[in-house]
A and B are shown apart, each in its own frame.
Chain A
Amino acid sequence: MRKRKVFNQFLLKNLIIWFFVLSYKLYAREIIKPYEIENWTIPESEIDRYVFSYLKKLNIKPSFPCSDEVFIRRIYLDTIGILPQPQEVIDFINDKNPDKRKKIIDKLLEKKEFAEYWSMKWADILRIKSEFPINLWPNGVQAYYMWILNSLKDNKPYDKFVRELLTSSGSNFRVPPVNFYRALQGRTPSSIASAVCLTFLGIRFEKLPKQIQDGMSNFFSKISYKKSLEWKEEIVYVNLENEEALEATFPDGTKVKIQPNRDPREVFADWLIRPENPYFSKNIVNRIWSWIFGRGIIHPPDDIGPHNPPIIPELLNYLEKELVNSNYNLKHIYRIIFNSRTYQQSFIPYEKNLENERYFASYPVRRIEAEVLLDIINNILGSGNEYVSQIPEPFTFIPSEQRNVLLGDGSITGPFLELFGRPPRDTGYESERSNKITEEQIRYLLNSSELHRKIQSSSYIKTLIRETRGDKRKIVENIYLKLLSRYPMEFEVEILFNYFSDTNIPLNQCIEDIIWALINNKEFLYKH
């Protein structure tokens, strides 16, 4: 009798414990408003099937879906590098169409600002700058950068884009893609091969076996450069005077004999740009993934090789196939990623877990890139930054209205951009750009005279006071929509109302302080 009682008690105790454990597992956390929502409004995509099945295997819970407010801010930053206007946020939140996220993605991908924002990335990895160590010179930079920008605007198929870069000949001013062979520190066949390898295969040349390095260099051994009578013009051409056949090696180790009258670069491009070449599409889809998630399926994305396997191989294969089947349409890859649940997860991990980020179980928070951050601050405050080239031949003046992402020349830069990790564009490595916040950056945001002056003389504050006629609730709402792309929560309104009333600071200065505090806020500084 007693035994049974003890046993019952034991059972009961266990049941209670299990109940708690289970409920903890099931209801461990609720959604966090206003950043998350309970249920998905978009269908599961192919991408999600790969990602979520991995998460399940590893017992990692994916995050909740992100809210509309978070989504609209995120998608604007990731597609065009601009914040949505308050009215756009309001319209989007109120839109009842279940397809509204898909629709806005389609709309943004077609904007010219999409090409502008992503041309910055391409200019980074193609090392576009006029001064040391690349020395493209201003006119060359202009021609090359405009060519890239227009290629992106036209959504030029990626295979065509790469072929033009690899096989063009002619003047650096008149045939812009030849600048690919000029945007290098050294012009030896091996340094050209090294740049080709890094850019289009994502492979570090120095990690290939020596005989492959040498054999691959042969593809670029006939490239020559000559000056013309026009100042700083340079002609890139292939010198086929030599009568002998050339033997070269592809990165995969296969050898090839090239007839003397054939441009070896063409032979290389023919090998590279084929649907069945495993290196070609892998590199670019993995890069796009890493540009969007801050982390590649192979990471870092420009160090591919047997030592660095993909974390979800099936996902990478799928994206490769999508690229080839869409005729090398890069926008298609962007589109399927943006439309996935994986992308639209909340930035708050479901639970603390170190593996979260590696397996894409939440949207990773990252500080906004230098150029974009300056653009959005200028855009809000109605301010701008002017730039002048270092080279006085002739001086290039960049007007203050121009977006910073459109600074095609890496040599034209300013203290803000330098401080916030704009890459020097020396090597083309992805790691050159740093989006990690530093103590110096925070000091700038807290205490810079430049920023202070911008806020003080901001046209936004004047319009705001005029248009709201000093109505404090409207002011606070507008500031939050403008800077954080969401309505303020009730307790935030309260804090700010207290700030208006408790301090003896005049209204316009109060608004300055609020804007200053929000610019210093994590929610503003980070993509989330």
Chain B
Amino acid sequence: MRYRKILWFFLTIFLLCCKNSFSQSEIKPKAKSVIQIWLWGGPSHLDTFDPKPFAGYDYAGPFKSIATNVPGIEINELLVNLAKLADKYSIIRSMTHGINAHETASYLMQTGHSSEENLVYPAIGAVVSLFKGYDYGYKGILPPYIVLTTSQGRFSECGFLGEKYKPFITGGDPNRTPFAVEGIVLEGITETRKNARRHLLYSIDVLGKLVPWIKEFEWFDLCREKAYEIISGEISKVFDLTTEPEEVRNMYGRNTFGQSCLVARRLIEKGVVYVTINYKGWDTHSNHFQQMRQKLPEFDMGLSSLIKDLSERGLLDTTIIWVSGEFGRTPKIQWEPPWNGGRNHYGKCFSVLVCGGGFKGGCIVGASDEKGENVVERPVYPRDLLGSIYYLLGIDPESKFPEKFGKNVTILPPIDKGNKIGLLKEIMNE
């Protein structure tokens, strides 16, 4: 009897130890999904989240800054709705990598790896769809990685992971009715005609009847069955924005970006793991300020509605939103022709917005100098930002890709360790 008690005692201790060592090696995920808003071309940090009103007209240009609902944080005056939500997001003002070419900077920002390395790494969306996708128990009806509405184009998102981890790219325009998602929603054909067509398709499939056993054809038939399941199933309803109330659609803004944000929310509700919105038009070499006057209100409406809506639906705690371009733009304005008030590429110092999914709101990370030209405090490198997102998703930033993709290939280059360096621990919830 006594022995048994002692045995139980040791067993309990042993189990407790095991549990401890497990919880140490595994990171508890806080976030379930990610929305990446990619400002394609590189937005000016001075004219968005790092205004420098005292740097003079040659730097600040015609814009002023406004106070937000968090004392001490100011952003561009055109971002009126975002100014009311500053307690929900944090701004990194010390993002840096020093690269001024679109393609290599885009690659670095979305993979964390320098383009000098010998492998072509996958973008963060593909990495997440590997570790959180079908291979690891994802059972959603929608693909785990969706891009609205066109592909990134500068490099291949799936890198060495290969085609299987490519995103599903919707095509079409959510601001039009119907949102003609390529291959899912077809406009202008009646139900009867659709059925007749489908019948015709099968009745003239001669090879399918003669030699259905040819391997390629067997596979083809399987794929076609699955395709029809998807076309006639739930998925097409997710993209049907006509079921949303008119005021919600208006709140997001009746433009492609605004409605893309609305679609993103609907996808997150359905459990999609990674959504990227590729938002073009930020490569403003000339007439920069005229373009900003048109773009910033649209950006402000879409993003603020997305944050508010997710928050009201209780999804913001488990959804990371990150907003960035491949770089910022030169703080010093080029007033001379042909630019006529333009800003060039600038990778040395720029800003990124992060929100939700375990990131704290109302914080500023790092700082730039008085003209926004150099990082003066707490540099944040792409690997730190991506590593933090992986961390919140429960993916160890130091982990490796499965062996089949090569031996000892880590998902990120080594991240510095310490206080206010490396991972963005200071803005993560406990």
Contact = CB atoms under 8 A, between A and B. Distances in A.
A437 B219 contact: yes
B227 A443 contact: yes
B216 A421 contact: no
B186 A448 contact: yes
A391 B102 CA distance: 8
Interface stretch (B152-160, B247-255, B295-303, B355-363): B152-160
Contacts of A358: none
Contacts of B172: 449
Given A191-B118, A492-B204, A513-B193, A440 B168 contact: yes
Contacts of B116: 186
Contacts of A366: 216
Size bin of chain A's contact surface: 35 or more
Interface string A408-429: 0001010100100100101100
Contacts of B151: 415, 418
A442 interface: yes
Contacts of A528: 207
Given A132-B103, A348-B214, A447 B183 contact: yes
- Of A415, A418, A442, A526, the most chain B CB neighbours within 10 A belong to A442
Nearest to A449: B180
A358 B221 CA distance: 23
Contact of A513 (B106, B200, B231): B200
B224 interface: yes
- Of B188, B196, B200, B201, the most chain A CB neighbours within 10 A belong to B200
Interface of A: 32, 131-133, 135, 185-186, 191, 347-349, 352, 365-367, 390-392, 411, 413, 415, 418, 421, 424, 426-427, 434, 436-444, 446-450, 452, 489, 492, 495-496, 499, 503, 505, 509, 513-514, 516-518, 520-523, 525-526, 528
A513 B197 contact: yes
Contact of B183 (A132, A440, A505, A523): A440
B226 interface: yes
B227 A446 contact: yes
Given A415-B150, A517-B201, A131 B182 contact: no
B217 interface: yes
B231 A186 contact: no
A442 B223 contact: yes
B115 A185 contact: yes
B193 A443 contact: no
B169 interface: yes
B205 interface: yes
10 contacts: A348-B210, A415-B150, A415-B182, A427-B120, A439-B226, A439-B230, A440-B168, A447-B185, A505-B193, A522-B205
B163 interface: yes
Contact of A516 (B160, B182, B197): B197
A444 B180 CA distance: 12
Contact of B200 (A441, A489, A514): A514
A424 B223 contact: no
Size bin of chain B's contact surface: 35 or more
Contacts of B187: 449, 452
A518 B197 CA distance: 11
Given A426-B156, A505-B193, A450 B208 contact: no
Contacts of A520: 201
Contact of A132 (B104, B150, B192): B104
Nearest to B222: A439
B214 A365 contact: yes
A449 B223 contact: no
- Of A436, A438, A447, the most chain B CB neighbours within 10 A belong to A447
A131 B196 contact: no
A427 B160 CA distance: 9
A434 to B, nearest CB: 6
Contact of A523 (B168, B207, B231, B283): B207
A513 B117 CA distance: 50
B271 interface: no
A426 B156 CA distance: 9
B165 interface: no
B203 A495 contact: yes
B421 interface: no
A522 B205 CA distance: 7
B38 to A, nearest CB: 14
B213 interface: yes
Interface of B: 102-104, 106-107, 115-118, 120, 150-151, 153-156, 159-160, 163, 166, 168-169, 171-172, 180, 182-189, 192-193, 196-197, 200-201, 203-208, 210-211, 213-214, 216-217, 219-220, 223-224, 226-228, 230-231, 283
Contact of A521 (B189, B197, B205): B205
B356 to A, nearest CB: 30
Contact of B163 (A133, A392, A415, A421): A421
Please list the 10 inter-chain residue pairs (A to B) with the smallest Cβ-Cβ separation, ordered nearest first. A443-B183, A424-B156, A132-B103, A131-B103, A442-B227, A449-B180, A444-B183, A132-B155, A443-B227, A426-B120
Nearest to B143: A440
A426 to B, nearest CB: 4
Contacts of A392: 283
A526 B182 contact: no
B120 A185 contact: yes
A391 B104 CA distance: 12
Nearest to A435: B216
A421 B166 CA distance: 11
Nearest to A390: B153
Contacts of B200: 495, 499, 513-514, 517
B196 A499 contact: yes
Contacts of B184: 443, 447
A526 B216 contact: yes
Given A191-B118, A437-B223, A448 B182 contact: yes
Given A133-B155, A427-B120, A446-B183, A452 B188 contact: yes
- Of A352, A418, A440, A517, the most chain B CB neighbours within 10 A belong to A440
Contacts of B230: 439, 443
Given A499-B196, A509-B193, A513-B196, A131 B217 contact: no
Contacts of B228: 446
Contacts of B192: 503
B231 A443 contact: yes
A438 B153 CA distance: 21
A492 B192 CA distance: 22
Contact of B169 (A415, A439, A522): A415
Nearest to A362: B214
A443 B168 CA distance: 12
Given A185-B118, A390-B153, A447-B186, A434 B163 contact: yes
Contacts of A434: 163
A513 B106 CA distance: 43
- Of A427, A509, A516, A517, the most chain B CB neighbours within 10 A belong to A517
A49 B196 CA distance: 50
A203 B224 CA distance: 38
A366 B204 CA distance: 20
Contacts of B117: 185-186
- Of B180, B187, B211, B216, the most chain A CB neighbours within 10 A belong to B216
Contacts of B188: 452
Given A132-B104, A439-B226, A526-B216, A452 B186 contact: yes
Contacts of A367: 216
A177 B183 CA distance: 41
A411 B154 CA distance: 7
A125 B211 CA distance: 34
Contacts of A513: 193, 196-197, 200
Contacts of B159: 426
A443 B217 CA distance: 16
A503 B198 CA distance: 13
A523 B206 contact: yes
B242 to A, nearest CB: 17
Contacts of A447: 183-186, 231
Contacts of B106: 132
